[in-house]
Amino acid sequence: MPNFTQTEIAVEKVTMRFLKAQARTHSLKELLVQKLSGKHRAEYFTALDQVSFTVQTGEIIGLIGKNGSGKSTLLRIIAGALTPTSGKVRVDAKKVKLLTLGAGFDTELTGRENVYLNGALIGYSKPFLDRIYPDIVRFSELEGFMDEKIRNFSSGMVSRLSFAIATAQKAPEILILDEVLSVGDSHFRKKSEARIREMIHSGSTVLMVSHSNAAIRNNCTRVIWLEKGRIRQTGTPNEVCAAYEKAENAL
């Protein structure tokens, strides 16, 4: 087991609350009327509740839990895409790359145009995209389709293109992976998993969310189980995954 001695990420009593959709008003007039009549009662959903943990340099942390347990929200807070309601995260934002699929695609643009749009949103320069464009097309196996509009792509084709763009750059010092291990058919899934393994094991500090316990067991050094926005258990991949599976099977 590697000797992890330097703290790369510190999550300190992080709480995140979102305003519930039904509590939102559609206009300023409606909000004022509701307040004056005493009917306006803001309702919030707590996605994360006093979550604290640290990540050492070189660790590969897996986050598991049901949908809605707060995993993706936590990743986005660590990446700086969301600001927590309370608590704080200590991390060097310049080192962090959040890898998630499908964000920033325009269905009315072609596959080629979306490579440049999505790449720019990720932070790639145009010269870099010019250079790696053939590799993106080749890896996504979409030769002959890149001048078609994205709205004519199947969901699998969009996922493959998104994955190829998102993983085109070398792994950063801190890599955050949000459900990127189940892309496309079985053939492409093997390719994508091999690429992710290369990135994970290149020396980066990694946080990853996956519903595949096999992927968590095979790649992580430690696992955090989130339940209803709180940490239920932290430990080795085998012990935490086994406890999570036991709890799921008991339902």
SS3 annotation, the chain: CCCCCCEEEEEEEEEEEEECHHHCCCCHHHHHHHHHHCCCCCCEEEEEEEEEEEEECCCEEEEECCCCCCHHHHHHHHHCCCCCCEEEEECCHHHEEEECCCCCCCCCCEHHHHHHHHHHHHCCCHHHHHHHHHHHHHHHCCCCCCCCEHHHCCHHHHHHHHHHHHCCCCCCCEEEEECCCCCCCHHHHHHHHHHHHHHHCCCCEEEEECCCHHHHHHHCCEEEEEECCEEEEEECHHHHHHHHHHHHHCC
pLDDT band at 1 (very low <50, low <70, confident <90, very high): very low
Percent of the chain with pLDDT over 90: 58
Check pLDDT > 70 for residue 214: yes
Check pLDDT > 60 for residue 2: no
- Listed by start position, the domains of the chain span 58-249
Mean pLDDT of the chain: 88
Give Cα 13 to chain centroid, integer Å: 20
Q: What is the pLDDT of residue 228?
A: 95
**Residues 225-250 pLDDT 10s:** 999 999 999 999 999 999 999 999 88
Do 54 and 11 form a contact (C-beta atoms < 8 A)?
A: yes
Place of tokens 């932290």: 234
The CATH code for residues 58-249 is 3.40.50.300
